[in-house]
Amino acid sequence: MFASFMINTWIAATVIAAVAGVVGFFVVIRGSAFAAHALPLGTFPGAAAAAVLGINPLIGLLVFSGLGVIGISQLGRRGRHEIATALSFVMLLGLGALFLSMTTEYFQAVYALLFGEVLGVSSSELVPVILISVVSVALTAILFRPLLLSSVSPELGEARGIPARRMELLFLSILALATAVALPVVGALLVFSLMVGPASAARALTDRPSRAVLLSAGLSVLTVWISIALSFASDWPIGFFVGGLSAIAYGAGRSLTWAGSAR
């Protein structure tokens, strides 16, 4: 489990889980779970486009992440936010279907992007993962206070000179970066659970935002560590354990919240 070929797995999974926990805290308090679910799924076709063009898949993921952010933010100005998210999601999936039809050598890569391939992280892929993760966390730290205020009370944020739409765009950009870098490792279907489950539990355990962010990151990292260990021991997919443990964390968080409100 700690052999040399697993080193990149442990490093990449730890870094991505920490980022997912940090960003996931704001996903939970902003009620942006749908966006956190739609962006990864709408982004993965970018790797198909990259395969058609013969470029690095990460470039395609980042470009499609940007398209998703632009689509959600622009369409959201004229209608309900969840409808804008859904329309952007459908548009990106449509483009993805087009690009997938142009190549016959992409099935295994699509499966990996949906369900993750944490054991297949190479040293060359590790550097951009770490760099983009650092950028995501740094942006979150810089925008922490205004982002927190606009999440909890957009009206109060506007009164203090924090434009809600601008913060929404910045948050979606951070979310897009986090999901794009996580896709090749944990997959589009699991990055959502990794963001929502631990963050929900952390929010239920403490009311202090800074402590909740750290706790969310810690729970997310712990979830991935346990998943890797269980996968190594059982030879079952890592994704099964990541999804299951995240669901348990989410359920525990909801139960604690319900118990606290019932007192």
Domain extents in the chain: 4-257
Q: Among 174, 217, 170, which residue's Cα sits nearest to residue 197?
A: 217
Mean of pLDDT values over 134-156:
89
From first CA to last CA, the distance across the chain in angstroms is 44
Report the predicted TM-score, pTM, of the whole model to 2 decimal places: 0.82
The topology under which CATH files domain 4-257 is ABC transporter involved in vitamin B12 uptake, BtuC (1.10.3470)
The confidence band for 104, taking pLDDT boundaries of 50, 70 and 90, is low
- DSSP helix/strand/coil, 44: coil
Scored b (16 or more CB within 10 A) or e, 32-70 reads bbbbbbbbbbbbbbbbbbbbbeeeebbbbbbbbbbbbbe
Residue 103 has pLDDT above 80, yes or no: no
The single residue listed with the structure tokens 């319900």 is 258
Q: What is the mean pLDDT of the chain?
A: 79
What pLDDT score was predicted for residue 30? Answer: 85
DSSP 6: G
Highest-confidence range of 43-57, 83-97, 110-124, by mean pLDDT?
43-57
Residue 222 has pLDDT above 90, yes or no: yes
87, 42 contact by CB (below 8 A) = no
